[in-house]
Structure formats: structure tokens, C-alpha cells
Chains A and B, each alone.
Chain A
Amino acid sequence: MPSIDGPLLWAVYITLALTSLSIGAALVRVVRGPSLADRIIALDLVAYLAMGFLGTYAVLVDQEMYVDAVLVLALLAFLGTVAVARYIERIRSGEGIVEP
């Protein structure tokens, strides 16, 4: 049961709906993206959108702990993107190929 009403409740509903729509659009790019880097930036945007979704959901259910989850998700998204960027560069220079 939402603890808010009036324009804020409508704004929260609209925000959740549009964020979900945007996540769907970004996932289309993850499937279609021609290169690995395209998929990675699309997943980066999915992480940003999930952060926005979580923050808005915290307002809807009046639970502060979702804001902590936003912080953790920001950290994970950054670390994942940097790791994959390093990986792509290593593939290019041949270091990523592990000899058996």
C-alpha cells in the first residue's frame, strides 16, 4: 500500500513505467548491438535505469534501505564496466588469449 498520494504518487507511477520501458529499450540494444562494447554500454544504461527504479520504488514503499541498494549498484556497474573495458583491450593485444 503506497504511503504517498496526489501528484507525487502519479509521478512515481509514471517514473516506474517509463523506467521499465527504457530498460526494455536498452535490452533491445543488448541483443542487437553489433559489437561487445555496444552491449556493455547498453548494460551500463540498464544499471543506471535500475538505480533510478530502485530510488523511485523507495519513495513508493517508504523504505530507506533501497537507497543503499542504489549505492551498491552504482559501485558494481562501475567496476563491471572498467573490467570489461580492460578485457576488450587485452583481446586486441592478444594478452587475453590463454594458452592451454
Chain B
Amino acid sequence: MSSLLAAVFLIGGVTFMLIAAIGLLRLPDLYTRMHAITKAGTLGIGLVLIGVAISFADLSVSTRAAAAILFVLLTAPVSAHMIGRAGYLGGIPLWEGTMFDHWNGRFEELDRNLDATEANARERTRSSDEAPTEPA
């Protein structure tokens, strides 16, 4: 019975992984591909590792599988966000069917904001560095 359950989880997980790989091949631009791999890849990994834990039926394996699932659930959105941000700021084009692009045409503003933030931070650290050395 438990082996049948494990088999169902394995097949379900690998189905999601296959969908993720097909999405990676077929979708039109970087952002839609990223959506495919982070959602489907994470869910696929989760289901496969749950299947592994069930088939071993051992506390130490279950704990390690749960730790791996938790780690992937925590880190996949972070890495996807960073890659998407780097790609967008690097000017990778969006698919022509994209409906909403909230930063469209305001690239300069975004750049200036980022530069201003960095300059502010630099100014702040410099003034805090120099403050003690200034004569009273």
C-alpha cells in the first residue's frame, strides 16, 4: 500500500518536472520560462522527495527529504527573483504579447532611483566614517 502511494507521488512529481522542461523549451521569453521552471520544478521536486520519504519509511531519510523540500521552497523564489531582476535591468526584451510592464519607458527613472539610493548609502557611510575625524 505504501509502495503504491510512493509510486503515485513519484509519477506525479516527474510529470511536473516534464511539464517544466517542456515549458522551458516552448515558452517565448525569459520571464515566462522562469515562471515555468520555478513553479513546476519546485512542486516536482517536492512530490518526488515525498515519494522517496514514503518508500524508505525511515525517520532519518524523511527528515533529510523534508529539509531538502524546505530548502528548495525557500530558495527557488529568491533565485528566480534575482535572475529576473538582473535580466530586466539588463534589458532582455519581453514577449510581444505581454500585457503589463509597469516599468515600461521609465528605465531612466529606475536607473536614477537606484543610483540615488547607492549614492545616498555611500554618502551616509562616508559621513559616518569622516565624522569622528573632523575637528570640533
Contact = CB atoms under 8 A, between A and B. Distances in A.
Contacts of A58: 52, 56
B71 A37 contact: no
A67 B61 contact: yes
Contact of A19 (B14, B55, B83): B14
Interface residues of A, number: 52
A82 B49 contact: no
A86 B82 contact: yes
Contacts of B7: 7-8, 10-12
B32 to A, nearest CB: 11
Sorting the interface of chain B by its residue count into under 10, 10 to 19, 20 to 34 or 35 or more gives: 35 or more
Given A7-B3, A48-B45, A22 B20 contact: yes
Interface of A: 4, 6-8, 10-12, 14-15, 18-19, 21-23, 25-26, 28-29, 35, 37-38, 40-42, 44-45, 48-49, 51-52, 55-56, 58-59, 64, 67-68, 70-71, 74-75, 77-78, 81-82, 84-86, 88-89, 91-92
